[in-house]
Structure 1
Amino acid sequence: MTILEQVYASGGDVIIHTLELTCPAWDAPILLCKGFEDQVCVTEDGRTLTFIASGIDVALPKKTNSGAQNLTFAIDNVTGEAQKKIDEALEAGATVSLVFRTYLGSDKSTPSDNPFRAKVLGGKITGSTVQVTAGFFDMINTAFPRDLYTVNFAPGLKHL
């Protein structure tokens, strides 16, 4: 049983959800945490990051065998900053990456569970809220076998 599972079962500690959004078109990543206070946490690779308190809501993917593992989250976009960042990423044609980490209020020196890394698949803006969907791994649309036997990979094919 992991530390996070023990907290879910018995309570007694605060769970801090954090999001790190990065894009090559942005000068700095977007660092958000759920709650009313900014949180200073250490990532799994030793970086100390300050996550800005925000009105975010995270819907974790269901643990099923469906092959669709999507994380959905909503950001309260009161200042319009999320809209500006989305426009910058669209103009540059760059992909946005997401890292979702969970910390305990009593121990912010390391994530309490393995971080989820995903690629942002899409989003929509409704009023003052930005809703974003990110996918972990698209198993359904993955080719099999993964190595494609083309003339460049296997030159002998052109003689068949």
Structure 2
Amino acid sequence: MKSLEIVYASVTNMVIHYCLEFAAPSIPDGAYRLVLGYHDITAKLETGEEAIFQKAAFGLSLPSRTVKGRQDLNFNIDNVSGEVSIMIDNALAADEEVKVTLRKYNEHDLSAPAEPPIVMTAFATELDENQVKVSATFEDLVNTAFPIRRYTSEIARGLVWL
């Protein structure tokens, strides 16, 4: 059994740490990491790299399982200073792709995420009085062309009649 399955199935007071990571080239240190809770944690990523997640208050709504193709993750981050919103807005304004990664850790095992991470791409932010609302989406597989590589006359000269 996986460690999270044990936590879900048992009546214990083990905590699941929900961690968010925002990654873009313009973000300082390449990524901004948050953990839902009152204490910073140091945990290993799936790559084995050690990372510090800063304490934060945020709410998230996971996408429902549908066949519509596009699934969105919406979350609100309490952010009085607007730090998160400024970083994401700057990256989106520079046409950078902002990757949002959701990881779950068992409090007794921070050596790796307890489940494979959910990786999405941010597409919108909204700043309220003291909250940042961020929307991210999975890759839209239903509307993606197949094959992804298009054979045109520039890369395949045999397509043009001589």
**Structure 1 length normalisation: TM-score?**
0.89
Aligned length: 160
Tell me what 1:156 maps to: 158
What is the deviation of 1:48? 1.3
What is the deviation of 1:33? 0.5
Secondary structure of the residue that 1:8 maps to in structure 2?
Answer: helix
Secondary structure of the residue that 2:159 maps to in structure 1?
Answer: helix
4+ residue stretches of structure 1 with deviation over 6 A? none
The whole-number CA distance in structure 2 between the counterparts of 1:98 and 1:91 is 16
Q: Deviations over 1:101-125 (max 9, x none)?
A: 1001111111100011221121222
Q: Deviations over 1:41-84 (max 9, x none)?
A: 11111111111110111212222322222222211111221232
What is the deviation of 1:91? 4.3
Q: 1:11 to 1:42 in 2, by over 3 A?
A: farther
Which residue of 118, 142, 145 maps to 1:143?
145
Tell me what 1:88 maps to: 90
The whole-number CA distance in structure 1 between the counterparts of 2:45 and 2:149 is 34
Unpaired segments ≥5 residues, structure 1: none
The whole-number CA distance in structure 2 between the counterparts of 1:64 and 1:134 is 16
Query: 1:47-62 to 2 correspondence within 5 Å?
Result: 47-62=49-64
C-alpha contact 2:56 2:77 (8 A) present in aligned 1: yes
Tell me what 2:24 maps to: 23
C-alpha contact 2:123 2:135 (8 A) present in aligned 1: yes
Tell me what 1:110 maps to: 112
Secondary structure of the residue that 1:67 maps to in structure 2?
Answer: coil
The whole-number CA distance in structure 2 between the counterparts of 1:57 and 1:11 is 24
Unpaired segments ≥5 residues, structure 2: none
The whole-number CA distance in structure 2 between the counterparts of 1:78 and 1:35 is 16
What is the deviation of 1:11? 4.0
Secondary structure of the residue that 1:138 maps to in structure 2?
Answer: coil
Secondary structure of the residue that 2:119 maps to in structure 1?
Answer: strand
